[in-house]
Chains A and B, each alone.
Chain A
Amino acid sequence: MDTINIEDELKFVDPQQIELKLNSFGDLELHLPDGTVHTPVVPARSFPLTDVTHYIAIQTDNKEREEICLIEDMEQLSGESRRVLEDALEKAYFMPVISRLQAINRRFGVTQWKVETDRGVIVFDLSSRSAISQFDGGRLLIKDIDGNRYEIPNYLQLDPKSIALIETQV
């Protein structure tokens, strides 16, 4: 019996051959090389935390979320398609990057963080320690009580005060 090549399961498409655009409703439209058009579709990152430009799945915008195709490297898309996709991904994955901690106030297990991010200053609440996930290389991912997410690429590279504040929390 032939062994199954598991890579055949992937629905890769040639990024040069496809086209992504917004229709007049602002919905994303996918044009495949065989001429079929899918709309509305939504992009999904396979590795939202570790690789934001590779393995972008394009799925149907309904409850089933069926995958139509997988884009290995979005850098290879044609200029306009790439811009449209970048735009859609920016909206779909909103995760400010924290650059400095101003204060952490603790009160019975709830911590209130006041931080500076690339999107401005924000105050948010964490309900437990498990809201902070730690990755290799000092990378932190924080999920606040309302479901917003924030990232610190490497907390050890922040200023000493921020590091000290974080050390009390992780």
Chain B
Amino acid sequence: MSQSDDVPLQVRGKDRSNQSSMSDGKSEQSNQELLVEEIPAHIQDLLPDLKNSPLEVALATDLHFSGNYGQDWLLATNDKIIAAQQNGLPEYQLQQIDLKQIDKVEILNLHGNNILKIRIANQGIELARFSKRQADKFNEARFKIEELIQTQKGEDQKIDTRPKNAGRKTRCEKCGKAIPHWSEICTACIDKGKTISRLLKYAVPHWKLLVGGLMMMLVLTSLGLTPPWINKMLMDEVLVPAHSAISLGQPVSENAGFLLLKYILWLFGITIITNAFGAIRSYIMSWAGQHITHDLRTETYSHLNTLSIDYYHKRDTGHIMARMTHDVERLQDFITHGIQSMLRSGIMVVGMSCILLWQNWRLTLLTMWTVPLLVALTIFIGKLYRRYHHIVWRRVEKISTILASTIPGVRVVKVFGREPDEIERFNLHSKHVLEGGLVVSKIGAFYHPTMGFLMGLGTTLVWWAGGRQILAGTMSIGDLTMFLSYMWQFIGPVQELSRLNERFIRAATSAERVFEILDTAPDIANKVDTTHLDEIEGEIEFKDVIFSYDGELNALDGVSFHVNPGEMIGLAGHSGAGKSTLINLITRFYDVNHGQVLLDGRDIRDISVESLRSHIGVVLQDPFLFNGSVAENISYSKPDALPHEIIAAAKAANAHDFIVQFSDGYDTVVGERGARVSGGERQRISIARAILKNPSILILDEATSSVDTETESKIQEALERLIQGRTVFAIAHRLSTLKYSNRLLILGHGKIEEFGTHNELLELDGVYAGLCKKQAELSQIRVI
């Protein structure tokens, strides 16, 4: 097993790096490299002489057939397949099969592992077992082997219909490292320094202010270092001589009063200056910081709006929102406070060290060793503290999750009488929080006294060593007080600096997350030379369309059909058949992997996305309304619509009558996601919205499946009027909804099963006829 963890990783690392150079044009060449890994000597020795036929495939698995981790090998030349397996035996067993014999190569897609299996005349042989990590690699190998078999048998090569991965990548193409779920790009391949310097570019427009602010900070910080120094002068030149003179019964020197006033004025002045200018400086830096983040935020938001549906599908809404709020805020904090306090702390530490060493290097060295100790302690305990704090925080979060599910679900809880169980579950988690909280308190309770003790120890040391030097006459009382005050001031900046790295990395990460959005190219990018269509006929054609969301299963698998302008097409088929997917391709929420979608004879990728969508109106099963008035929601599709247009659209959608019954009429606010209007009403408002735009292509995706029959017939009525002169795609489960369709397209598992008029399909007596019969029976039952 010793080889299991290291060796395959290296091999993987290598094949990923090859993949990065791969593009469609030269995939033949690079696939080759990808599929041939370096074979270790002990396998090489087993192999027969392969001089005449070079290896086309040589891949290591990461599992033995026994299910233990380890390498078996799958090799293929242009005339045979060789599998080297170690089935719990010390020796590898070789299996050789002529390609000519092979009827089929398949990959069994199991849970947590896959198996590559071949079928020959009367036998099935499992050749390789591997974990999901190697699924892509062996998928490629399978296609390669199929290709070799076809060549060997002298058959024509079939067109490449394999699914392509349109989904999000989980591993970096360059380094093979895992990509975090919130990211699109590999965080290992980013350069921290570059990220920060890119962030600083946003500061460039405000450079004058920033430089001014920093200069002020420099001066103010230096000034802030002087009070202990003035205290010392005050002590040594005024107070101590005066005090000793008095205790000896001598007169106090004449200009002592004047000196006292002078130093006090100094101190007073410095306090005024540092605080007054400190306020100005702080405002300047905040101003710049806030402006920088404002720029960044608006740029990011407008870029977010250009990204494809797919981008949003692949991510939690919460994560995207967190970047716009949390990460941007963290950047602002870094720019306004982080950079400044780093610089200030640096200046203070260096300045104070210089003054102290210069004044009395021996005392400095003697006493200052407590400082690193203090800092080390705070870092250590701080880490511990944060870790436990985080654990508690997560436990509290779990409580919120419980609340978030049971409070909205309170009816379900009550109906099934599960209150006692829910209370018990809550108590259990609450107890976890309690236990965690106590640990945190313990650490906190230990932390502060320890800090106090170390500080006290440091001070005592200074008193002791300083006191001895004063007794020996090598040091003044002023020096001692200055030492003590610097020592107290020293801790803060040093702690600050010890967090420098962490702060820097956090800011870089946040910046990277924000930049990641900015760097994501819109998936459905307009090609450079797209045309803008002002008018369209509405003729749609699918040519041999293949599409997959995840690269594993084809949601549409070779779909071809033609729709005339103004025709209404009813789409039916079991759920998951690919009906919505077909719609997604027409609206270009996704692009096809293979084949073409044509509008008026043009590939829709040659039409600009904006103009394409301006001709399409969509009504979905669960329509989304924004929190605004009914009128605002209807006119969302046409912001400059006049009131009478809005009313006309509402009338056409059979919505006008109920809208005017609201006490606020068209000004009724629909609530978050339209929660304050009923499902059927929401549906009709969204139909009005789609129709206001007067689209040439109308798409209804199960637009009536969530409403009652009464409402449905109202919507039906509306639709009947609306389909005139438009190309319509209507998806519905109730076939009666499709009665106005010119033709019906029946999908099943991503393929077209039937396509024709109602009568044609009935005559065909296939899937559609079956569905009709079933629904007829159902409706009879209802009548009875």
Contact = CB atoms under 8 A, between A and B. Distances in A.
A144 B4 CA distance: 17
B171 A145 contact: yes
Interface string B337-359: 00000000000000000000000
Interface string B93-126: 0000000000000001011110101010011111
Given A121-B5, A122-B69, A145-B171, A110 B509 contact: no
B753 to A, nearest CB: 13
A63 B749 contact: yes
Interface-central residue, B9, B113, B115, B170, by most chain A CB under 10 Å: B113
A68 B67 CA distance: 28
Interface string B171-189: 1000001111111000110
A160 interface: no
Nearest to B505: A108
B70 interface: yes
B527 interface: no
Contacts of A121: 1, 4-5, 69
A110 B177 CA distance: 9
Contacts, number: 114
Q: How large is the interface on B (under 10, 10 to 19, 20 to 34, 35 or more residues)?
A: 35 or more
A149 B112 CA distance: 6
Nearest to A62: B749
Contact of B4 (A25, A48, A120, A130): A120
Given A24-B124, A92-B110, A146 B1 contact: no
A95 interface: yes
A130 B179 CA distance: 15
Contacts of B63: 94, 119
A120 B170 CA distance: 24
Given A127-B178, A146-B135, A26 B125 contact: yes
B112 A95 contact: yes
Nearest to B388: A167
A78 interface: no
Contacts of A127: 170, 178-181
Interface string B142-182: 00000000000000000000000000001100000111111
Interface string B499-529: 0000000000100000000000000000000
Contacts of B509: 108
A126 B281 CA distance: 45
Contacts of B177: 110, 125
Contacts of A26: 117, 123-126
A48 B188 contact: no
B119 A25 contact: yes
Interface string B424-462: 000000000000000000000000000000000000000
B489 interface: no
Nearest to B750: A63
B79 to A, nearest CB: 23
B113 A148 contact: yes
B170 A145 contact: yes
Contacts of A48: 111
15 contacts: A24-B123, A26-B123, A26-B124, A90-B67, A91-B115, A94-B67, A109-B187, A110-B187, A112-B178, A119-B69, A128-B180, A145-B170, A145-B171, A146-B170, A149-B111
Interface of B: 1, 4-5, 9, 63, 67-70, 108, 110-113, 115, 117, 119, 122-126, 129, 131-133, 135, 170-171, 177-183, 187-188, 387, 391, 394, 509, 749
Given A91-B67, A108-B183, 10 more contacts: A25-B122, A94-B67, A94-B111, A95-B112, A122-B5, A144-B133, A145-B179, A146-B132, A148-B113, A167-B391
Interface of A: 24-27, 48, 63, 90-96, 107-110, 112, 114, 117, 119-128, 130, 144-149, 167-168, 170
Query: Which 5 A-B pairs give the minimum distances between C-beta atoms?
Result: A125-B178, A25-B124, A120-B69, A109-B180, A26-B124
